[in-house]
């Protein structure tokens, strides 16, 4: 969440018409155990806050092996005002999927020095989440709030990757529309996630997430793919 100081700064700032930019939460690449395979892909995003511009980066590393998928996410955000960092957030999260079902999750999110540890695992026809707020039993088809693929959009119930909170959501859309990011216009499939907080996700024809938007206390934060998805190369860390 954006802290009160940041919200105050937003309300005091003069409105500007800024382009949607790369304002995404940072990402230092994670190393998977074992040898990297051709079905491991890196999605690097960048973010721009409408007032503060670029505030960080976000990366999803998606590894598919047969019916299993492993997703590693890293986030780094720093908001500066007059040269001072007024908000900082870092996170490391992992997801394991089997045949389209989330079977385990673990995430640690540190905001201004305070950490939240969230974990979850599939048990029978449920998904049990443990967080500082306690234990929550969610439906087996719960989805995390990390739109790394179209799979995540097949949801009626969503889990916050930050807090572990569970909420009912309504996801609509899929219509192809023209969207402009950083001066480039392209046709993308737009989806609306309607819950306690609204969000938008844009997918290309292959189902790859090109951008997504979240709202924090009335402020839209845009996360935009900065380059085409890259195969993970353990040696070169570059496209093959």
At the second CATH level, the architecture of 4-230 is Clam (2.50)
Instruction: Domain ranges for the chain, please list them.
Output: 4-230
**Higher confidence at residue 5 or residue 154?**
154
- Does the pLDDT of residue 12 top 70, yes or no? no
**Mean pLDDT taken over the chain:** 84
pLDDT digits (tens, 9 = 90+) for 109-166: 999 999 999 999 999 999 999 999 999 999 999 999 999 999 999 999 999 999 999 9
pLDDT digits (tens, 9 = 90+) for 83-114: 999 999 999 999 999 999 999 999 999 999 99
pTM for the structure as a whole: 0.78
pLDDT value of position 227: 84
pLDDT value of position 233: 66
pLDDT value of position 9: 38
DSSP assignment of the chain, as one string?
Answer: ---HHHHHHHHHSPP------B-----PPP--SS---TTEEEEEEEEEETTTEEEEEEEEEEEEETTEEEEEEEEEEEEEETTEEEEEEEEEEEEEEETTEEEEEEEEEEETTEEEEEEEEEETTEEEEEETTEEEEEETT-EES--SSGGGGS-SEEE-TTT--EEE-EEEEEEEEEEEETTEEEEEEEEEEESSS-EEEEE-TTS-EEEEEEEETTEEEEEEE-S--EE--TTT-S--
- Does the pLDDT of residue 56 top 90, yes or no? yes
């Amino acid at each position: 969440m954006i802290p009160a100081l940041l919200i105050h700064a937003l309300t005091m700032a003069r409105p500007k018409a800024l382009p949607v930019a790369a304002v995404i939460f940072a990402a230092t690449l994670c190393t998977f155990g074992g040898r990297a395979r051709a079905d491991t892909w890196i999605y690097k995003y960048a973010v721009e806050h409408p007032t503060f511009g670029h505030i960080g980066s976000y990366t999803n590393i998606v590894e598919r092996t047969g019916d299993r998928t492993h997703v590693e996410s890293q986030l780094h955000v720093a908001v500066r005002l007059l040269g001072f960092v007024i908000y900082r957030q870092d996170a490391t999260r992992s997801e394991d999927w089997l045949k389209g079902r989330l079977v385990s999750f673990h995430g640690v999110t540190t905001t201004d020095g305070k950490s939240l540890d969230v974990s979850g695992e599939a048990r029978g026809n449920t998904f049990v989440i443990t967080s500082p707020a306690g234990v929550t039993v969610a439906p087996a088809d719960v989805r995390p709030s990390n739109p790394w693929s179209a799979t995540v959009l097949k949801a009626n119930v969503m889990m916050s990757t930050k807090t572990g909170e569970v909420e009912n959501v309504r996801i609509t859309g899929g219509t192809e529309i023209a969207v402009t990011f950083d001066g480039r216009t392209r046709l993308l499939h737009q989806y609306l996630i309607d819950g306690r907080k609204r969000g938008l996700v844009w997918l290309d024809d292959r189902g790859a997430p090109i951008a997504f938007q979240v709202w924090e206390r009335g402020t839209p934060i845009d996360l935009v793919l900065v380059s085409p998805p890259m195969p993970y190369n353990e040696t070169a860390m570059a496209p093959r």
